């Protein structure tokens, strides 16, 4: 079995905390090295704003992609996007996948290494776990639609920066407008915050039914977080059962 370095253990632990609590970090600090440790943790999670990064303010009414009449058309219009710095470092633009008329939309955070390589969201281990979760609540991957808040991979799987999310979000909103799902499930805190604009913890969001543009929306863990912390699988199972029930009620 390969040994996990201390550095990797710290990163995984901080990612788990961020998944639940968001930007607040709960850490025990040695007061003699307090400043250095805080900087290290923030850099590890990429919470520090980048200096001189240009802020893109979308003008929704002047963007060609707003005229797209189908997902295919939208994909062609935005696939070459370079509106934020992630356009330069991606291998593949990851638009989304699934049934264009899906009643169920799943939204994740951003492509990871494997997604970036294959150009499809939720492949690899997290994708397999997501497929298993879907099957457990009697959905097939092909009948739902799966997309991310960001279409391009943040380097080293760091968390998306607020300005990247603001820049990319109009594409997801257009996807939602075209798909017209009955229900949305946000996978992880980043997706939930990005879509619902709520400043609270995942723990407080789970189990609630929110609305995005009139579409019922629920929140659960990101499958990658479940791989890091299998103790959360039970909670996820409770969440997705409630989500299935909600769908059944709405679908009649
Ligand atoms: S992340 Fe979104 S906004 Fe940034 S380059 Fe990719 S598609 Fe464009």
CATH number at residue 176: 3.40.470.10
Q: Determine, yes or no, domain membership for 150.
A: yes
Residue 41 pLDDT greater than 50, yes or no? no
Pocket test for ligand 1, best of 164, 165, 169, 175 (most atoms within 8 A of CB): 164
pLDDT tens digits along 151-170: 999 999 899 999 999 999 99
Give the tokens for residue 36.
């250095």
Dist. CA 146–CA 92, nearest whole Å: 16
Strand partners, 216: 183, 211
Task: Residue 134: give the domain boundaries.
Answer: 64-251
Question: pTM surpassing 0.85?
Answer: no
pLDDT band (50, 70, 90) for residue 46: very low
Total number of domains in the chain: 2
CA of 187 to the centre of ligand 1 (A): 19
- Closest ligand 1 atom to Cα of 82: 5
Pocket test for ligand 1, best of 168, 170, 175 (most atoms within 8 A of CB): 168
The mean per-residue pLDDT over the stretch 67-76 comes to 97
40 and 78 both lie in a single domain: no
Model confidence at 244: pLDDT above 70: yes
Centre of ligand 1 to C-alpha 87, Å, is: 6
Are residues 157 and 83 located together in one domain of the fold? yes
- Paired with 97 in beta bridges are 146
Alpha helices in 32-161 (DSSP H): 34-44, 71-78, 86-89, 113-118, 124-136
204 C-alpha vs ligand 1 centroid, how far in Å? 29
Which residue matches tokens 């996990």? 4
Residues 39 and 68 in one domain: no
Same domain, 171 and 240: yes
What confidence tens digit (pLDDT) does each residue in 171-188 have? 999 999 999 999 999 999
């Amino acid at each position: 079995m390969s040994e996990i370095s201390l550095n990797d253990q710290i990163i995984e632990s901080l990612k788990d905390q961020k998944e639940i609590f968001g930007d607040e970090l709960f850490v025990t600090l040695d007061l003699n090295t307090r400043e250095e440790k805080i900087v290290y943790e923030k850099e590890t999670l990429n919470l520090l704003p980048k200096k001189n990064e240009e802020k893109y303010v979308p003008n929704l009414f002047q963007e060609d992609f707003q005229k797209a009449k189908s997902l295919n058309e939208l994909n062609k219009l935005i696939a070459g996007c370079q509106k934020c710095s992630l356009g330069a470092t991606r291998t593949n633009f990851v638009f989304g996948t699934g049934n264009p008329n899906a009643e169920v939309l799943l939204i994740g955070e951003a492509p990871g290494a494997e997604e970036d390589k294959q150009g499809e969201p939720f492949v690899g281990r997290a994708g397999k776990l997501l497929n298993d979760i879907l099957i457990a609540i009697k959905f097939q991957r092909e009948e739902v639609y799966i997309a991310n808040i960001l279409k391009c991979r943040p380097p080293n799987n760091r968390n998306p920066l607020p300005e990247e999310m603001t820049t990319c979000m109009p594409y997801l909103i257009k996807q939602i407008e075209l798909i017209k799902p009955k229900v949305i499930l946000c996978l992880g805190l980043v997706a939930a915050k990005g879509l619902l604009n709520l400043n609270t913890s995942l723990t407080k969001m789970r189990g609630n039914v929110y609305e995005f543009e009139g579409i019922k929306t629920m929140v659960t863990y990101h499958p990658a977080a479940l791989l890091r912390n299998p103790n959360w699988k039970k909670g996820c199972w409770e969440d997705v059962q409630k989500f299935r029930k909600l769908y059944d009620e709405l679908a009649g």
